Amino acid sequence: MSAIDLSDLTVWFGHGAERSDAVKSASFSVDTGESFGLVGESGSGKSTVLRAISGLIDSWAGTMQLDGKPLGRRRERSFYKAVQMVFQDPYASLHPRHTVDRVLGEVLKLHGFSDIDARIDKLLDDVGLGKGFRFRYPHQLSGGQRQRVAIARALAPEPRIVLLDEPTSALDVSVQAEILNLLSDLRAERGLTYLMVSHDLGVIGHMCERIAVMQQGRIVELLDVAQMRKLSAEHPYTRHLLDSSVRAVRQA
């Protein structure tokens, strides 16, 4: 069974003459336990898809299913226990006046967990921080450490599915690989399903088995990572992305 199934998803902003379709009739599925990537240039609609799935946008049409069950306009609490999201900017996504302890503790309480203290310590250990970071504020953490806290927060409800919106693009290159390896390890340990957005084909190639390529709100091609690495894309836009990525690697 597919963990995520989208059929003819259209997402728009504005109304009437001011309406702009950000996603146009997008269809794809993500298998349980798979890591699936959405790639494309800025403005292609990648992050909008994640926000529609997570319930942050309610102006959409089409069908979205989670584990075979249709999603409506509103999300139940059970949805947020099953699905969590890691955002691009770890500083903006954390409350600047809340300690790490409060950030994680509030999520655990919201989802009805007891033994809060032990769970916070375990979450911090799982993301490679440890107890010493528990009472620090976001401004006392590096970018990579903040993103580790954001990942711990996403893991707190014990989700099955994690939506990853450019989780390393705001980080230094030296830290990006550490976070990607952490995400890979957590997926293997917890049996997670990932839907990951990135403009970086190198990141997607490292993290995902299959990808959907988006251009101007439409999915123009679906291919697996083996095809991507062989540069065997069919659509001109996909070939353009792959060629650009290869040139960037050669020039680095």
SS (H, E, C) 210-242: EEEEEECCEEEEEEEHHHHHCCCCCCHHHHHHH
Mean per-residue pLDDT of the chain: 92
For residue range 170-182, what is the model confidence (pLDDT) as tens digits?
Answer: 788 889 999 999 9
Give the span between the Cα atoms of 1 and 172, in whole angstroms: 37
pLDDT at 159 (0 to 100)? 97
For residue range 114-141, what is the model confidence (pLDDT) as tens digits?
Answer: 999 999 999 999 999 989 999 999 999 9
What lies within 8 Å, CB to CB, of 15 at 6+ separation is none
Question: Which domains are delineated in the chain?
Answer: 2-251 (3.40.50.300)
Q: Are 197 and 203 in contact (CB under 8 A)?
A: no
The vertex-203 CA angle with 201 and 208, nearest 5°, equals 90
